[in-house]
Amino acid sequence: MNSIHADKPAETVPRSAAPARPPNLLDYDLPALSAYFMELGAAGFRAQQVLHWVHRRGVLEFDEMTNLGKELRSRLRETVCLEPPVPAEVREAEDGVRKWRVSLSDGAVVETVLIPGPARTTLCLSTQAGCPLRCDFCATGRQGFTRNLSVGEIIGQFWLVLRELDAFGRVPGPISNVVMMGMGEPLLNLDAVLSVISLLRDDCFYGLARRRVTLSTAGVVPGIRRLAADRNPLRSCALAVSLHAARNELRDRLVPLNRSYPLERLIPACRDYAQARAGDSVTFEYTMLDGVNDSPRDAREVAELLHGLPAKINLIPFNSFPGAAYRRSPPAVLESFQRVLQRRGYQTTLRRTRGDSIAAACGQLTVASMRREQETIHA
Ligand code: SAH
């Protein structure tokens, strides 16, 4: 090709003139914002005031942050921004579950699910756009992986749902629990996730108790070990581990991550985690797949595997999606599986399926799901 630029060294070709984006304060937890404010020459405690306006009061305009002083406010206006992700679409199922499709600044889309109930209202957050783990029975994994979400894109999901509910300033707020069980693997985005947990837990901001924030992992062993070693009480939460099989040969197939972190590494990491948390129990999730992992023998193997661990077991009926190669275990099979575990002393609960009609149940979240559903509706 005879382009006149062909022989130019790359660095002399002018770069695109896109202006650098100013830092978004939603991406900061309290220690990070205090450090940043000190760099700007502002007192560190101003960080807490700003984050209180944002996360407790829902205020995004610096001019409304009346305890800040005019000079700091105009400095912030010039140097930083406050931009939550944008709700692109919301759907509500007849059981009250609501799912938001959330647009991120680069066009990536994630989903957030609100599950209201009499005893608690849970928000299910996504931590990555797509997911790299490709579990065989999960719709998200089939979509592939786009990228990690930033702190602001994760906490922003909570923020925008509170705003949609017009609930800023209400104490206690309407969302009592958070589960990181949306799209993505939280332990592969751990720095951001720990900052998000600290904002959720801090009484100055969302004020959720430790057991009301749950991180769910497919079993990223180094991440579990890092959580166990973290001594900052504001960054601690409840841990759930997606087990789905009690022998490697089957788990390798269902959760390919098992090939990197097999059960003989995963279970000791859970044991050490429980010990470091003074005997806190670990919840093991187990999606029940008809004829695959739901026999009485499978149940006995789970019981043996978890022996001596302070474990709770949460059985999840499989939620189907287009192209899925599995079926849900019949109710009688679910119940007998549950009985085997209960007889062996494990607290075992059966998760009620909710949000199924809007593809908002576990494992149904996808980048394209709403588009596809609508195509189906209009077909
Ligand atoms: N990556 C994390 C969190 C995401 S999913 C993890 O693996 O734990 C939350 C839970 O839903 C996991 O236990 C996951 O295995 C389960 N799940 C995924 N697809 C499902 C499906 N189609 N039906 C039922 N549960 C599913």
Would the CB of 289 count as within 6 Å of ligand 1?
Answer: no
Cα separation, 126 vs 185, in Å, equals: 9
What pLDDT, on a 0 to 100 scale, did the predictor assign at position 171? 84
Structure tokens at 262: 């097999």
**Cis omega (within 30 of 0) for bond into 322:** no
Q: Name the residue with the closest Cα to ligand 1, atom 3.
A: 181
Q: Which residue has the higher pLDDT, 63 or 358?
A: 63
Q: How large a percentage of the chain has pLDDT more than 90? A: 82
pLDDT value at 4 more than 50: no
What pLDDT, on a 0 to 100 scale, did the predictor assign at position 367? 60
Domain boundaries, the chain: 22-79, 86-378
Average pLDDT value for residue range 254-269: 98
Q: Name the residue with the closest Cα to ligand 1, atom 9.
A: 181
Q: Where does the pLDDT of residue 122 fall: very low under 50, low under 70, confident under 90, or very high at 90 and above?
A: very high
Q: Name the residue with the closest Cα to ligand 1, atom 5.
A: 181
Pocket probe mutation, ligand 1, options 137, 217, 321, 334, max atoms within 8 Å of Cβ:
137
Would the CB of 37 count as within 6 Å of ligand 1?
Answer: no
> What's 338's DSSP letter?
H
Would the CB of 362 count as within 6 Å of ligand 1?
Answer: yes
> For residue 324, which atom of ligand 1 is closest to its CA?
22
What pLDDT, on a 0 to 100 scale, did the predictor assign at position 362? 78
> For residue 133, which atom of ligand 1 is closest to its CA?
1
At position 185, the amino acid (one-letter code) is E
| 214 CA → ligand 1 middle, Å | 13
Q: Where does the pLDDT of residue 324 fall: very low under 50, low under 70, confident under 90, or very high at 90 and above?
A: very high
Q: Where does the pLDDT of residue 377 fall: very low under 50, low under 70, confident under 90, or very high at 90 and above?
A: very low
Cβ–Cβ contacts within 10 Å for residue 179, how many? Answer: 20
Number of helices followed by number of strands (H, E) in the chain: 12, 12
Would the CB of 178 count as within 6 Å of ligand 1?
Answer: no
Average pLDDT value for residue range 327-334: 97
| 185 CA → ligand 1 middle, Å | 10
Give the tens place of pLDDT for each residue, 271-319: 999 999 987 899 999 999 999 999 999 999 999 999 999 999 999 999 9
Q: Which of 5-9, 171-175, 348-352 has the lowest mean pLDDT?
A: 5-9
What pLDDT, on a 0 to 100 scale, did the predictor assign at position 18? 64
Average pLDDT value for residue range 244-271: 98
Would the CB of 319 count as within 6 Å of ligand 1?
Answer: yes
What phi and psi, each to the nearest 5 degrees, are found at residue 224?
A: -60, -40
Residues written for the chain: 379
What pLDDT, on a 0 to 100 scale, did the predictor assign at position 2? 36
What pLDDT, on a 0 to 100 scale, did the predictor assign at position 20? 78
Our answer to whether residue 64 is catalytic in this structure is no
CATH number of 22-79: 1.10.150.530
pLDDT value at 379 more than 90: no
Q: In the sheet that 98-103 helps form, which strands lie side by side, from edge to edge?
A: 86-92, 98-103, 109-115, 122-124, 177-180, 213-217, 238-242, 282-288, 311-317, 347-350
Q: Which of 76-90, 254-268, 343-357 has the lowest mean pLDDT?
A: 343-357
State the pairing for strand pair 177-180/238-242. unpaired
Average pLDDT value for residue range 315-332: 94
What pLDDT, on a 0 to 100 scale, did the predictor assign at position 319? 92
Would the CB of 348 count as within 6 Å of ligand 1?
Answer: no
pLDDT value at 3 more than 60: no
pLDDT value at 9 more than 60: no
Of 11, 61, 362, 375, which residue is the catalytic one?
362
Q: Name the residue with the closest Cα to ligand 1, atom 12.
A: 242
Average pLDDT value for residue range 38-63: 96
Q: Where does the pLDDT of residue 359 fall: very low under 50, low under 70, confident under 90, or very high at 90 and above?
A: confident
Pocket probe mutation, ligand 1, options 110, 181, 284, max atoms within 8 Å of Cβ:
181
What pLDDT, on a 0 to 100 scale, did the predictor assign at position 378? 29
Would the CB of 137 count as within 6 Å of ligand 1?
Answer: yes
What pLDDT, on a 0 to 100 scale, did the predictor assign at position 16? 55
What pLDDT, on a 0 to 100 scale, did the predictor assign at position 363? 75
Average pLDDT value for residue range 346-370: 78
| 366 CA → ligand 1 middle, Å | 12
Give the tens place of pLDDT for each residue, 155-195: 999 999 999 999 998 888 999 999 999 999 999 999 999 99
State the pTM of this model: 0.92
Structure tokens at 286: 């187990």
Our answer to whether residue 111 is catalytic in this structure is yes
| 24 CA → ligand 1 middle, Å | 31
Average pLDDT value for residue range 237-248: 98
| 220 CA → ligand 1 middle, Å | 14
> What's 22's DSSP letter?
P
Say which CATH topology domain 86-378 has: TIM Barrel (3.20.20)
What pLDDT, on a 0 to 100 scale, did the predictor assign at position 185? 98
| 140 CA → ligand 1 middle, Å | 9
